[in-house]
Amino acid sequence: MLNVMPAQDSGYPEANLGPDDWITLAENDSQWEKNFTLQRSGFVYGCVLGNNTTALVPLQGASANIFEPTPGGAWGWGQTGENGCFNVSISPGTGYMININSPYNSGYSNYMQNTQNGGDGIDVVSGATTMFGNVTLRLGARIRGYVTNANGTGLQWISVNAHPRMMGPGEGNGGGNDWGFANTNEQGYFEISGLTENNSYDLEAFPDPNSDYSTGSAQAELTSAITEVNITLITGNRVFGTVTCDGSAIPYVPVNVFSSEGMGNGPMMGAMESGRFAFSMTDNNGEYSARGLLAGNYSMRVETPWNQEIDCSNAFESIEVTGALEHNVSMPLASILTGYVLDASDNSTIPYGFVDAFVPSQGQPGEQMMGPSAYAMVNESGGYTLHLTPNNASYIVHVQPPWGTTYAGQEGTVRINASGQTTALNFSLTSGGIISGRVQNSSGSPVQFAFVNAFSENAHSFGFASTSSDGTFSVRGLSAATDFNLFIQPSFTSSTYATVVPTFVESVTVSEGQTTDLGTITASDADSSLSLTITDNGIALANLNVHAWKPFTPFFGYCSTNISGMCDINGLLSGSYDVFIEPSGTRPPVFRSVNVSGSGSYVFDYTSDLGSLYDINGTVSNGTDPIPYADVGIFSESAHFGTHAFADANGFFTLYGVPSGNYTLNADSWGYYHYMEQLEVGANAVHNITLASFNVAESFTVDGYLVSPTSSSVSTKTVVIVDAQNASLFSTFNVTDASGYYTIAGVPASTYMISAAMGNRTYSSNQTNVSASTTINITVS
């Protein structure tokens, strides 16, 4: 790396060699020549003030970071002097953003500008000074506590990060955009300051990657100036091995390991329990080591390395961890999807966007994490390259425009049938529309820091924002459509902001390049809350994620227990709620029905409420050979209990922590009939499962088109086929291509119902007997 530093106060910015300019000098190279032309810079001037509750005071030592919000963009940095002001020299340009970090250990909040939530970018002119104005930081709240091992011994040099659970508009007074970090001292103590009171934070603790400790996380609601949160890390099992592509070891490959027990991979939202997830990256020899895992079933996502071209795509596998496990991963050979992102008005390229592609899960082996997927950044020339796994269903490819621009996102579909082929798919983006408004409660007070999500089924467009301190919001970059729905979600965990219940606004029209102002939206006031206490044999359980949902309504909430095993879900309407406690370690998921009225409470103890727990294990096979990665689940309506697990590569599965009772046992794997039987559980048991395969000679292909007389979009719609006599025997789906065409292979002979979802409506065919390959068209509007 080479930097050129101009003379101080010369008015010129520094210059450097970026990654695209890097060179390698050989030992016998005596010299190398490179000329730099410096353009006269501009300046950004502003002042940082602190509100210490009595008066505004200048803050010396705050840092101002000014940058272009694109990879490799220009940037500048400076500190405030005694008068609290900064003057940063930077290259001329438009749309600069600014972050301000408070003076170290001052206790003040930070500031982060965000154009997507309404902030304006900074324009810099050569030789001129742009006045940014004053930024006021307030004294922030603090999170403090200890990181310990299971014996309560403090762990030193653990990195602890705190970041808001929902990003707010970044108004300088916190607004949900404050963040912080600290390292533990010799006693394991940490303290993170400059945060926002009455806001909710996620904490993550990262040990030395060479230790046997797990990563840990917790949640904190800052209801006072100081909030105490402790995080416990455990020593666990190690999963290690080599990652290869076409027989060659691959360095710098991210390896993610997530628990696949209970209700799926990882938490629905909130903290993840220590020992239930791990991350590693392969070294120069392609070897990885993921540490600190509890015994159980896990899913692995092994991703292609960034900025490194290989002939393979992401790998998805299931494993069972009972001790140290060597697990080598051979990444599948890929096909290449490449293309350009263009401006529809003049066909110029749009750099630095984000492209992702995925196949919706159909229960195929290895698709536990939403099916095959890949993602990539758009390069400086507007091009992208994705490595995709060949698959018998269409990929949905989505382009997210560069951060801070007004383009609308776009989707397309592509089918990848074999490895080694190259497919081209270009995107032309248009100017996006905006939905704006203001959210208030019944008294007219603004609803602050609520999450606003806008989505259109027909346009496959979405966007989100947060309400500011005056309740206003702007959701930008939306495609033109007439069926946008808004979901406005208050902060469930904050008693300050959760004064209303979630709110829907339906059928909003968005036009290209225009703003649709919804005016004032009055949300219904909440009248209830639920305080929970979770224990096991009387011992408080921290960092458990708890959800509450009022069936067949949009009213729901969640929280994570603190070190006392307690948490609150605010912003509810009175009524009966389904309460779900996510699984943790060997503790199973829990479902309970709880009546909520006013300030309600609920206490749950695993030992006294569930009694003895048992493990059910076995092998899934076709009668001769094991079936890898089958999905095995057990459920009881009367016991309010359900859990599942994925079999490993040898077909072996374990269902942990099942209370005694009568259950329905289910198993699924692509290419096999659905399996279901009744099972009584009263002890640890071995239970093998045999699946019946579809007879290839007796399976057929069903295809057809969605036909729209009103010219509604028929691309990327979900088409579902279900056995009309017994849905548990066969059901699957696929996604239409740009012309509305779908195809579903491997359909056994039977009578079926075919349906397609369009917005809030579902269109179905008549019952059709399939005894040969059949074409079924569906008319939609």
Q: Please provide residue 770's backbone torsions phi and psi, each rounded to the nearest 5 degrees.
A: -105, 110
d(CA 725, CA 727): 7
Please, what is the end-to-end C-alpha distance for the chain in angstroms? 59
Whether residue 78 has pLDDT greater than 50 = yes
Once rounded to an integer, what is the mean pLDDT over residues 120-131? 86
Residue 21 has what DSSP assignment?
Answer: G
**pLDDT tens per residue, range 400-414:** 888 768 898 888 888
The SS3 call for residue 362 is: coil
A 10 A CB-CB count for 131 gives: 11
d(CA 516, CA 536): 52
**pLDDT top residue among 55 and 172:** 55
Q: Assign 245 a pLDDT band (cuts: 50, 70, 90).
A: very high
**pLDDT tens per residue, range 198-217:** 677 888 888 887 778 888 88
HEC profile of 397-453:
EEEECCCCCCECCEEEEECCCCCCCEEECCEEECECEEEEEEEECCCCCECCCCEEE
**CA distance to 97, 307, 317, 530, per residue, from 250 (Å):** 37, 13, 17, 50
Whether residue 538 has pLDDT greater than 80 = yes
- Give the residue among 503, 495, 515, 499 at the shortest CA–CA distance from 453: 503
**pLDDT top residue among 473 and 298:** 473
**pLDDT tens per residue, range 607-649:** 898 888 899 999 999 889 999 888 898 988 777 788 888 888 8
The dihedral built from the CA positions of residue 490, 492, 493 and 499, taken in this order, carries a sign that is positive
The dihedral built from the CA positions of residue 53, 57, 62 and 68, taken in this order, carries a sign that is positive
Whether residue 27 has pLDDT greater than 60 = no
d(CA 233, CA 273): 9
Strand-pairing partners, residue 680, are 662
**pLDDT tens per residue, range 429-458:** 989 999 999 999 999 999 888 889 999 888
Once rounded to an integer, what is the mean pLDDT over residues 269-290? 78
d(CA 402, CA 644): 39
Dmax (CA) for the chain in angstroms is: 84
Check if the beta carbon of residue 687 is closer than 8 Å to that of residue 666: no
Whether residue 510 has pLDDT greater than 90 = yes
Look over the chain and give the mean of its residue pLDDT values, rounded to a whole number. 81
A 10 A CB-CB count for 261 gives: 27
Once rounded to an integer, what is the mean pLDDT over residues 274-282? 81
Once rounded to an integer, what is the mean pLDDT over residues 732-758? 81
Residue whose entry in the numeric block shows the structure tokens 């009213």: 555
The SS3 call for residue 69 is: coil
- Give the residue among 369, 423, 396, 436 at the shortest CA–CA distance from 169: 436
A 10 A CB-CB count for 540 gives: 15
Cβ-Cβ contacts under 8 Å for 317 (sequence gap 6 or more):
299, 300, 302, 327, 329, 366, 629, 649
Strand-pairing partners, residue 440, are 446, 522
Q: Assign 722 a pLDDT band (cuts: 50, 70, 90).
A: confident
Residue whose entry in the numeric block shows the structure tokens 């922590």: 657
Spell out the domains of the chain, with CATH numbers in brackets. Answer: 3-138 (2.60.40.10), 142-232 (2.60.40.1120), 237-331 (2.60.40.10), 335-429 (2.60.40.10), 433-522 (2.60.40.4130), 528-610 (2.60.40.10), 613-690 (2.60.40.10), 696-779 (2.60.40.10)
**Percent share of the chain, pLDDT over 90:** 25
**pLDDT tens per residue, range 658-709:** 988 899 998 988 778 788 888 999 999 999 999 887 654 467 889 998 888 7
Q: Given 3-state DSSP classes, what are the helix, strand and coil percentages for the chain, each rounded to the nearest 5?
A: 0, 50, 45
d(CA 79, CA 62): 6
**pLDDT top residue among 476 and 24:** 476
Residue 173 has what DSSP assignment?
Answer: S
The dihedral built from the CA positions of residue 335, 340, 344 and 347, taken in this order, carries a sign that is negative
**pLDDT tens per residue, range 365-380:** 333 344 677 888 898 8
Q: Assign 509 a pLDDT band (cuts: 50, 70, 90).
A: very high
**pLDDT tens per residue, range 143-186:** 999 999 878 899 999 989 888 764 333 332 233 446 778 889 99
Specify the pLDDT at position 268: 43
The H or E element spanning position 609 is helix 606-610
Q: What is the pTM assigned to this prediction?
A: 0.63
Residue 102 has what DSSP assignment?
Answer: P
The H or E element spanning position 607 is helix 606-610
Whether residue 466 has pLDDT greater than 90 = no
Q: Which two tokens stand for residue 492?
A: 């469930």
Specify the pLDDT at position 452: 92
